[in-house]
């Protein structure tokens, strides 16, 4: 795992800015720094040494040394690719996974990215054609940002901070991104907090030289599964591809641990990993005894500890309360690549901190199972929606208008337009709420955030289209960003066994009904691993990883004061005209609503904190 940065065709013709850019990502690569320059290109990397600790230094070269690469990530199928290339006559200098990419590119050019199984952000230079390529993995695990310069130049980096530093001036804020932020808790890619900095889309490569700039999608390999004519065969296929993916993700020359909640996803990963790793160490988060309005009690750590004991593995419990969460907000903000309001990221952050203290460098996560195998609680409601009889109504209702019974919720969901329904299932600030908070003079040109669900407006639609939207939009923007940035804050490489091209292919070619077995969300996973897990884990219902933000904002003076500071005339929000004097009045009205607005308020807190610390 590494951080990468560089610039091409810039008016800067020395390494000085590059060294400063790389300095912003020491957390991504504390073990080693390398730089490379050729003609009008300067690029470099910071390395977190995980594989081939001795000879795995960057940059990597092909055997003719006319392809040069710095990259961030892991290629899990590199041994298979390396063997094929050796049979074609290519030579290798190391046993590091990254080196295979250079020779692969020499053989296949941009089709090389299609062959890679793994997570990656790549910067690759052809000395023969003086052409620079950037590429990103198929699901967007690894970040890669860029900004265009004059004369067809480019500056790029693994974090936004490095690019911002390159310009040596305040960049213009992206007001559309800020408008979207309270709805999603993040700014949707490819946008960022800055107007002129973009995120390279997943499954894409960028190609640039002195005369050409283009971004293209590359093909994601699709696998086909034979003998899928029965439920039993599908269950067996799931078991095989998940076990295979866990085995791939254990590739490491340094200690590996796991995240462990009491849910089925992390329990599967931990149980499978414990078969391969002696003295496996696991990490869990626990809260004070507060009721989570979404799923019951917020604290799951005791159940996680019981499961760890069942497996015979070590478990560390990190206790969170209003004070240590408050004390973590600065580092949370500083490592989020712009405003980020996903409060559960603080739990990931503190687990990464504890893992580092224990000498762990790699953590396996259970993320991805809910998106690929249909595990989120809102899919139960969607399963009762008639998609052939949809109105064009837009209401004020979302699933955060909580205190209603299931039949009332389903009745309201059935009255929504298809695109609004995509928003209402699990997102936050409504357009009307944002109009009451933001200064509309500044945001007069902002478009509705509902535009990001427009692909759901097609005529023939089903629950599977909403699963696909979550896989493509929610998973990349929220779950993957949260895991990468918070783990990297403490130089921990995160890996996700439920993400692989085989799992993607299986799930994309299946229907929700294939997953929803025995009237259970992720029923196919429960049946696939029924011999691995205790019955109490198998029968446990989905429990989200929710912080008691609503409780703290209403019952803690410290949190209450922080919220009101964010809306005061001393705040960055006010000084930059993002809010006005009416905003605080309207905030107080929202505080008195029965709707659970805590995460929306947390967004404004984090937006203000990011502006005060980083802008």
**Could you tell me the pLDDT band of residue 545, with boundaries at 50, 70 and 90?**
low
Question: Taking 60 as the threshold, does the pLDDT of residue 249 lie above it?
Answer: yes
Q: What distance in Å separates the CA atoms of residue 157 and residue 44, rounded to the nearest whole number?
A: 9
- Residue labelled with tokens 């025995």: 518
Name the average pLDDT for the chain.
93
Mean pLDDT, rounded, for 541-566: 86
**Could you tell me the pLDDT band of residue 311, with boundaries at 50, 70 and 90?**
very high
Nearest-10 Cα torsion for 407, 451, 578, 323: 50
**Could you tell me the pLDDT band of residue 389, with boundaries at 50, 70 and 90?**
low
Question: Taking 50 as the threshold, does the pLDDT of residue 200 lie above it?
Answer: yes
**Could you tell me the pLDDT band of residue 2, with boundaries at 50, 70 and 90?**
confident
Q: Would you say the CATH fold of 231-373+468-538 matches that of 2-217?
A: no
The residue ranges of every structural domain in the chain are 2-217, 231-373+468-538
SS (H, E, C) 358-406: CCCCEEECCCCHHHHHCCCCHHHHHCCCCCCCCCCECCCCCCCCCCCCH
How does pLDDT run across 143-169, given as a tens digit for each residue?
999 999 998 999 999 999 999 999 989
Q: What distance in Å separates the CA atoms of residue 582 and residue 600, rounded to the nearest whole number?
A: 17
Q: What distance in Å separates the CA atoms of residue 350 and residue 321, rounded to the nearest whole number?
A: 12
Residue 46: predicted pLDDT: 96
Question: Taking 60 as the threshold, does the pLDDT of residue 298 lie above it?
Answer: no
Residues contacting residue 98 through CB under 8 Å, at least 6 positions apart: 56, 58, 60, 69, 71, 73, 75, 78
Question: Taking 80 as the threshold, does the pLDDT of residue 546 lie above it?
Answer: no
CA distance readout (Å), 373 to 264, 467, 469: 12, 9, 13
Q: What distance in Å separates the CA atoms of residue 123 and residue 38, rounded to the nearest whole number?
A: 14
Mean pLDDT, rounded, for 528-532: 96
pTM listed for this prediction: 0.96
Question: Taking 80 as the threshold, does the pLDDT of residue 397 lie above it?
Answer: yes
Q: What distance in Å separates the CA atoms of residue 26 and residue 45, rounded to the nearest whole number?
A: 10
Domain 231-373+468-538 adopts which CATH fold? Rossmann fold (3.40.50)
Per the model's pLDDT, the better-predicted residue between 610 and 411 turns out to be 610
- Taking the alpha carbons at both ends of the chain, their separation in whole angstroms is 28
Residue 13: predicted pLDDT: 83
For 85-119, letters b (16+ CB in 10 Å) and e give beeeebebeeebbbbbbbbbbbbeeeebbebbbbb
Question: Taking 50 as the threshold, does the pLDDT of residue 121 lie above it?
Answer: yes
Residue 591: predicted pLDDT: 86
Q: What distance in Å separates the CA atoms of residue 425 and residue 499, rounded to the nearest whole number?
A: 23
How does pLDDT run across 488-506, given as a tens digit for each residue?
999 999 999 999 999 999 9
Mean pLDDT, rounded, for 213-218: 98
Lowest mean pLDDT of 201-210, 399-408, 507-516, name the range. 399-408
Mean pLDDT, rounded, for 567-572: 97
What is the edge-to-edge ordering of all strands in the sheet holding 118-126? 60-61, 67-75, 118-126, 131-136, 204-208, 213-217
Q: What distance in Å separates the CA atoms of residue 509 and residue 555, rounded to the nearest whole number?
A: 47
Structure tokens at 421: 């329904």
| Under 8 Å between Cβ of 48 and 62 | no
How does pLDDT run across 420-435, given as a tens digit for each residue?
999 999 999 999 999 9
User: 275 phi and psi, to 5 degrees?
Assistant: -75, -25
How does pLDDT run across 442-458, given as a tens digit for each residue?
999 999 999 999 999 88
Question: Taking 70 as the threshold, does the pLDDT of residue 401 lie above it?
Answer: no
**Could you tell me the pLDDT band of residue 295, with boundaries at 50, 70 and 90?**
very low
Q: What distance in Å separates the CA atoms of residue 446 and residue 449, rounded to the nearest whole number?
A: 9
Structure tokens at 488: 């990297």
| Under 8 Å between Cβ of 447 and 176 | yes
Q: What distance in Å separates the CA atoms of residue 265 and residue 262, rounded to the nearest whole number?
A: 9
Residue 548: predicted pLDDT: 86
Residue 287: predicted pLDDT: 80
Question: Taking 90 as the threshold, does the pLDDT of residue 277 lie above it?
Answer: yes
Residues contacting residue 410 through CB under 8 Å, at least 6 positions apart: 381, 384, 385
Q: 408: how many CB neighbours lie within 10 A of its CB?
A: 12
| Under 8 Å between Cβ of 96 and 251 | no
Burial group, residue 175, by CB count within 10 angstroms (0-12, 13-18, 19+)? middle
Q: What distance in Å separates the CA atoms of residue 595 and residue 598, rounded to the nearest whole number?
A: 9
| Under 8 Å between Cβ of 159 and 4 | no
Helix/strand/coil percent split, the chain, to 5:
45, 15, 40
Pick the CATH number of 2-217 from 1.20.120.1760, 3.60.20.10, 3.10.50.40, 3.90.550.10: 3.60.20.10
Residue 292: predicted pLDDT: 55
């Amino acid at each position: 795992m590494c951080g990468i940065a560089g610039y091409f065709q810039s008016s800067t013709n020395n390494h000085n800015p590059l060294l400063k850019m790389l300095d912003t990502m020491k957390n991504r690569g504390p073990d080693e720094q390398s730089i490379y320059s050729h003609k009008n290109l300067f690029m470099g990397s910071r390395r977190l040494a995980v594989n081939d600790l001795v000879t795995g230094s960057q940059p990597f070269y092909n055997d003719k040394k006319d392809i040069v690469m710095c990259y961030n990530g892991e290629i899990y199928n590199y041994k298979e690719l390396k063997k094929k290339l050796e049979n074609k006559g290519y030579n290798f200098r190391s046993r590091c996974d990254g080196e295979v990419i250079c020779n692969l590119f020499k053989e296949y050019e941009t089709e090389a990215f299609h062959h890679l199984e793994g997570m990656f952000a790549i910067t690759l230079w052809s000395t023969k054609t003086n052409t620079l390529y950037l590429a990103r993995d198929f699901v967007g695990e690894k970040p890669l940002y860029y900004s265009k310069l004059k004369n067809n130049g480019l500056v790029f980096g693994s974090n936004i901070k490095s690019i911002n530093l390159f310009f040596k001036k305040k960049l213009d804020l992206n007001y559309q991104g800020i408008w979207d932020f309270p709805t999603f808790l993040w700014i949707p890619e490819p946008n960022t907090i800055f107007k002129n900095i973009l995120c390279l889309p997943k499954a894409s490569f960028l190609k640039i030289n002195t005369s050409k700039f283009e971004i293209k999608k590359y093909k994601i390999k699709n696998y086909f599964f034979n003998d899928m004519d029965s439920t039993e065969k599908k269950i067996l296929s799931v078991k095989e591809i998940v076990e295979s993916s866990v085995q791939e993700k254990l590739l490491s020359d340094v200690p590996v641990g796991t995240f462990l909640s009491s849910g089925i996803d992390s329990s599967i990963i931990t149980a499978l990993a414990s078969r391969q790793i002696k003295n496996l160490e696991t990490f869990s988060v626990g809260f004070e005894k507060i009721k989570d309005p979404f799923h019951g009690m917020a604290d799951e750590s005791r159940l996680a500890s019981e499961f760890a004991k069942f497996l015979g593995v070590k478990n560390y419990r990190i206790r969170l309360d209003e004070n240590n969460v408050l004390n973590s907000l600065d580092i949370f903000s500083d490592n989020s690549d712009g405003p980020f309001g996903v409060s559960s990221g603080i739990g990931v952050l503190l687990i990464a901190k504890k893992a580092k203290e224990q000498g762990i460098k790699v953590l396996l996560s259970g993320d991805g199972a809910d998106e690929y195998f249909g595990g989120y609680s809102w899919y139960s409601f969607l399963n009762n929606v008639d998609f052939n009889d949809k109105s064009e109504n837009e209401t004020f209702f979302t699933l955060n208008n909580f205190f209603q019974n299931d039949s009332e919720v389903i009745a309201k969901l059935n009255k929504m337009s298809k695109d609004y329904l995509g928003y209402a299932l699990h997102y936050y600030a409504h357009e009307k709420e944002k109009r009451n908070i933001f200064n509309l003079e500044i945001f007069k040109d902002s478009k509705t955030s509902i535009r990001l669900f427009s692909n759901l407006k097609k005529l023939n639609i089903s629950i599977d289209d909403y699963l696909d939207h979550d896989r493509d939009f929610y998973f990349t923007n929220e779950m993957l960003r949260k895991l990468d940035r918070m783990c990297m804050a403490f130089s921990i490489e995160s890996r996700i066994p439920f993400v692989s091209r085989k799992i993607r292919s299986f799930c994309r070619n299946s229907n929700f009904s294939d997953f929803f077995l025995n009237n259970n969300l992720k029923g196919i996973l429960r049946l696939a691993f029924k011999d691995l897990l205790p019955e109490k884990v198998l029968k446990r219902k989905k429990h989200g990883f929710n912080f008691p933000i609503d409780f703290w904002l209403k019952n803690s003076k410290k949190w209450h004061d922080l919220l009101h500071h964010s809306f005061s005339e001393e705040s960055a929000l006010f000084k930059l005209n993002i809010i006005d004097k009416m905003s605080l009045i309207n905030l107080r009205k929202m505080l008195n609503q029965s709707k659970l607005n805590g995460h929306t308020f947390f967004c404004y807190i984090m937006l203000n904190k990011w502006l005060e610390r980083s802008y």
